[in-house]
Amino acid sequence: MRFVILHHHIFKNAGTSLDSSLAHQFGADFTTLERNGELIPPDVLATLLRDNPQLKAVSSHSFMGQGFRDVEQALDLRFFHMALLRRPWDRLVSMYNFYQRAGLDDVFCRSARDMSIDVFVKWVLRHYPNQINSPQVNIFGCGGFYGRPIIERDVEAAWAIYREFALCGPMERYDEAMVVLEYFNSPVYMPRGLRMEYILRNRSTHTASVPRLKAMLSLSELDIVNELIRHDETLWTLADQELSRRVALVPDFAGRLADFRLRCDYLRGGGKLRTVPPEKAPRKQARA
């Protein structure tokens, strides 16, 4: 049977770093598929995979939590779904930092370049509530369609989908999530296994921070933002707990994590270790 990874790439959730892992693992057998922010129809994905039987991983901002079960049945394959979540306050600040430096000519980039972070957030609140009102829940629970405030039922729907993902966890625990992913998904990629070492990509420069933003907002503004993001915070907490559950099932997790970080260091060093493995570090001479 054919196995294909689908990366549901969520903006500012370390998705570019995850893409670098998939590109390192699969090379030309990894690709991206975009549709200008619109949902990827099942027939578009099916055509891509049918016409490119060598593909092993596809990344898109427009998968939006879709399961694509009809595609699995039609092409006799199975998907491994992957996505990472991020704490909503951190994600909001990272969006601002990204828009400030992106150099693109769109309304968000222009506004971020012209505004301090507090003014930018107030502007987004006034005109684009979908950008703050638990967008991660909206992706998984509503298929990315925003037509009303997010409610509890959306969190339940989002979690029912996301908890089934092969990669389920917060980006703040990226290395741990990759070790878990490697352990549980390597059997179908033997003899090499699944190797998810990565190089950090698209990392925002921290011109603004969460504490700075919170200090600049009024109490009433803080209350509004906290209410709008609270369902994303709930989903993040559930994902964090699920990752901890999976970590506990991995034998010698600490050793695997250390090995993973050495492999990442080797990759970032261009094939040379930039740090010395603990077992090869020079021992200090004991004083007489």
Calculate mean pLDDT across residues 203-224. Answer: 86
Q: Which domain holds residue 238?
A: 2-267
- Order of strands, sheet of 2-8, starting from the edge strand that comes earlier in the sequence: 30-32, 57-60, 2-8, 77-82
Say how far apart CA 46 and CA 217 lie, in whole Å: 47
Identify which of 242, 267, 275, 73 has the alpha carbon closest to the alpha carbon of residue 165.
242
Calculate mean pLDDT across residues 224-232. Answer: 98
With a pLDDT cut of 70, the percent of the chain lying above it is 91
The first and second tokens of residue 50, run together, are 């049918």
Does any domain span residue 277? Answer: no
The first and second tokens of residue 229, run together, are 């993001």
The first and second tokens of residue 252, run together, are 């010698």
Does any domain span residue 285? Answer: no
Does any domain span residue 80? Answer: yes
The first and second tokens of residue 260, run together, are 């993973």
Q: How many domains is the chain built from?
A: 1
Query: Residue 283 pLDDT > 50, yes or no?
Result: no
Query: Residue 63 pLDDT > 80, yes or no?
Result: yes
Does any domain span residue 118? Answer: yes
What is the three-class DSSP state of 58? strand
Q: Would you state the pLDDT for residue 47?
A: 98
Query: Residue 281 pLDDT > 60, yes or no?
Result: no
Say how far apart CA 194 and CA 184 lie, in whole Å: 9
Q: Would you state the pLDDT for residue 287?
A: 40
Calculate mean pLDDT across residues 229-238. Answer: 99
Does any domain span residue 72? Answer: yes
Query: Residue 56 pLDDT > 50, yes or no?
Result: yes
Does any domain span residue 279? Answer: no
Q: Give me the CATH number covering residue 161.
A: 3.40.50.300
Does any domain span residue 280? Answer: no
| Per-residue pLDDT tens over the stretch 109-146 | 999 999 999 999 999 999 999 999 999 999 999 999 99
Q: Would you state the pLDDT for residue 199?
A: 85
Q: Would you state the pLDDT for residue 269?
A: 84
Identify which of 255, 261, 99, 247 has the alpha carbon closest to the alpha carbon of residue 195.
261
The first and second tokens of residue 235, run together, are 């989903």
Confidence bin at 276 (pLDDT 50/70/90):
very low
Report how many helices (DSSP H) and strands (DSSP E) the chain contains, helices first.
12, 4
Does any domain span residue 116? Answer: yes
What is the three-class DSSP state of 128? coil
| Per-residue pLDDT tens over the stretch 236-260 | 999 999 999 999 999 999 999 999 9
CA atoms within 13 A on the CB side of 48: 22
Identify which of 8, 59, 63 has the alpha carbon closest to the alpha carbon of residue 29.
59
